[in-house]
Amino acid sequence: MSDIASKFFKYRSYTPIPFLLLMLFFEDANIWSLAFGFAVAVCGELIRLWGVSWAGSETRTTGTVGGTFLIISGPFAHVRNPLYVGNILMYFGLGVMSYALFPYLQIVALTFFIVQYHYIVKAEEGYLRQTFGADYEAYTKNVPRFLPRLTPYKVKGVTQPPFNLSAGLKSERRTFQAFGITSLLLVLLWYIGRS
């Protein structure tokens, strides 16, 4: 893994913080930005929850890239990186909610996260290609990285972990908390600003 990919992977949970601070400081929300942004962010979180319920707690690692299974079920049957797609939608939705420095902050944040995930995904793909060989090659030829296909990819013979919503909810607890607190702060800042 390259140095930049390794750093992005290790600190990927913290890279949204500067954007979050800017969103809160320059908040300029209105009822429409709050409603539309919240809907987009919830869609992102639901995609994450669906993915984590298949992938399990391995998605929470911060050390090195790795995984026990080549997961091709659930959202992974539509897009290879549903957790990153979910993150981007969630961050973008929160950015729209805040309406801070709109649209410049949202464009800069979107560009940053696309670049960050590009490096992380390249490192993960190297691991998956080496570990799962022909199964992964077939998967990459049929399932896009970030833009979902409409019909699910199906293939027999690739062992899958069970879908576990309870484990997914437990694994997403920190994300739910961060999402809930940020959304609430944005609504409160908007409400106070109207008073």
Q: Is the pLDDT of residue 62 over 60?
A: no
Q: Is 23 exposed, middle or buried (0-12, 13-18, 19+ CB in 10 A)?
A: buried
Higher-scoring residue by pLDDT: 6, 143: 143
How many domains does the chain contain in total? 1
Contact (CB, 8 A) for 42 and 102:
no
pLDDT of residue 60: 54
Q: Which residue has the tokens 């995930």?
A: 117
Contact (CB, 8 A) for 145 and 121:
yes
Least trusted range by pLDDT, from 6-10, 73-77, 133-137: 6-10
132-182: pLDDT as tens digits:
999 999 999 999 999 999 999 999 989 999 999 999 999 999 999 999 999
Question: What is the pLDDT averaged over residues 40-50?
Answer: 98
d(CA 184, CA 168) in angstroms, rounded, equals 23
- Closest C-alpha to 87, from 116, 107, 66, 108: 116
Q: Is the pLDDT of residue 192 over 70?
A: yes
Q: Is the pLDDT of residue 65 over 70?
A: no
Question: What is the pLDDT averaged over residues 119-141?
Answer: 94
Domain housing 166: 3-194
